[in-house]
C-alpha cells in the first residue's frame, strides 16, 4: 500500500460501489491518470505524476477502477464501459474546468472513451504504450472463440505469480468499443509514448492510433530500448516532461 494512502478518499457510484481516489487541488487543467489492466493508482507512473503535480502546483486525480486496488467490486464484473463511467463520475464530482488525461496500456484505450465523452473539457491526452483494440489483436482465434462462448481465459503473467484472467464480460464489452477501424473524434493535442521492445503491445499500435485520431496535433515518441511498462527512471522523467510540455502548450494556446 502506498505510503500516502492516508489521503485516499471514496466516491460512491449510483449502484453503491465506492471508488477509491486521490485528488490534489491546484492549477488546471487537472491531470487524470488511468492505470492499465489489473493495475491501480499505487503504480510508479501514477505516484510520480501525483507527486510532481503537488510540487508544481498542478491539480491531479488518481483512481482505482472497481474491482482493483482499494475500490469496491469484483474484477470479474469490470469492463471498459463501466470503468469509463466511473472515471467520468469522478471528474464530474471533483474537477472544475479542463482535464488532461494520461492513460497507460489499457488505460490508453480507456482514455479514448473518456476523451470522447468529455468533449471540449478535454485539453490534451498522453498515452503510455496505449493498447486500443487489444480484444482483437491481443488474442488468438481459439481464445476469442472461448471468450465469445462465455468462458474465462487465463494467460501467463510476466509481472506476478498469478495468471492473468480475461473474463467474457470484459472482452465482449471491449469488442463493442474498438476504435482503430475508424476516425476517433478527438481534436486536442495528443502525445503517445511507446517502447520499441514492448513485448505486450506492439509499438505500431501507437502509430495506428495516431492515424485514427482526428486531431492533427499528435506526436509519437518511440523509446528504442523501452519495454511495456516504461517505468525506469528515464522513462518516468520522459513522461513527466511530456505532461509538463502539454500543460505549458495549453497555457500558451488555451
Report yes or no on 179 lying in a domain: no
159 is a domain residue: no
Domain-located, residue 19: yes
Q: What is the average per-residue pLDDT within 178-195?
A: 98
Q: Residue 45 maps to which CATH number?
A: 3.40.50.1820
Residue bearing cell 482503430: 180
How do residues 207-217 score in pLDDT, each as one tens digit?
999 999 999 99
Instruction: Determine, yes or no, domain membership for 192.
Output: yes
pLDDT digits (tens, 9 = 90+) for 3-51: 445 799 999 999 999 999 999 999 989 999 999 999 999 999 999 999 9
What was the pLDDT predicted at 157? 85
In a domain, residue 43? The reply is: yes
The residue from 23, 167, 191, 228 that is catalytic is: 228
Classify residue 138: in a domain, yes or no: no
Number of domains in the chain: 1
Tell whether 73 is covered by a domain.
yes
User: For this structure, is 198 an active site residue?
Assistant: yes
Q: What is the pLDDT of residue 254?
A: 73
Q: How far apart are CA 248 and CA 2, in angstroms?
A: 29
Mean pLDDT for 100-112 is 99
pLDDT in the model for residue 1: 37
Q: Is 71 designated active site?
A: no
Mean pLDDT of 138-166: 94
User: Which is the catalytic residue, given 39, 71, 79, 105?
Assistant: 105
List, for residues 156-174, the tens digit of each pLDDT value.
988 778 899 999 999 999 9
pLDDT of residue 55: 97
Higher pLDDT, residue 4 or 149: 149
> How high is the pLDDT of residue 250?
92
Residue 177 lies in a domain: no
Q: Exactly one of 40, 42, 133, 198 is catalytic; which is it?
A: 198
- Contact, 222 vs 158, CB < 8 A? no
Question: Range of 61's domain?
Answer: 8-132+187-252
Residue 105 among the catalytic residues = yes
State the first-to-last Cα distance of the chain, in angstroms, to the nearest integer: 37
Amino acid at each position: 500500500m502506498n505510503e500516502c494512502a492516508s489521503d485516499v478518499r471514496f466516491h460512491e457510484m449510483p449502484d453503491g460501489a465506492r471508488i477509491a481516489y486521490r485528488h490534489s487541488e491546484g492549477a488546471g487543467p487537472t491531470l487524470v491518470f488511468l492505470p492499465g489492466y489489473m493495475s491501480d493508482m499505487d503504480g510508479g507512473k501514477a505516484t510520480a505524476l501525483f507527486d510532481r503535480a503537488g510540487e508544481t502546483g498542478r491539480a491531479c486525480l488518481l483512481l482505482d477502477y472497481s474491482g482493483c486496488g482499494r475500490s469496491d467490486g469484483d474484477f470479474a464484473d469490470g469492463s471498459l464501459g463501466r470503468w469509463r463511467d466511473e472515471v467520468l463520475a469522478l471528474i464530474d464530482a471533483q474537477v472544475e474546468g479542463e482535464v488532461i488525461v494520461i492513460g497507460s496500456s489499457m488505460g490508453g484505450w480507456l482514455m479514448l472513451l473518456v476523451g470522447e465523452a468529455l468533449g471540449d473539457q478535454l485539453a490534451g491526452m498522453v498515452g503510455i504504450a496505449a493498447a486500443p483494440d487489444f480484444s482483437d489483436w491481443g488474442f488468438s482465434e481459439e481464445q476469442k472463440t472461448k471468450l465469445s462462448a462465455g468462458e474465462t481465459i487465463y494467460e501467463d503473467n510476466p509481472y506476478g505469480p498469478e495468471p492473468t484472467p480475461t473474463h467474457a464480460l470484459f472482452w465482449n464489452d471491449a469488442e463493442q468499443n474498438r476504435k482503430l477501424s475508424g476516425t476517433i473524434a478527438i481534436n486536442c493535442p495528443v502525445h503517445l509514448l511507446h517502447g520499441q521492445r514492448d513485448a505486450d503491445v506492439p509499438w505500431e499500435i501507437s502509430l495506428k492510433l495516431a492515424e485514427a485520431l482526428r486531431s492533427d496535433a499528435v506526436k509519437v515518441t518511440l523509446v528504442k530500448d523501452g519495454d511495456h511498462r516504461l517505468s525506469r527512471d528515464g522513462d518516468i522523467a520522459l513522461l513527466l516532461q511530456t505532461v509538463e510540455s502539454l500543460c505549458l502548450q495549453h497555457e500558451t494556446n488555451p
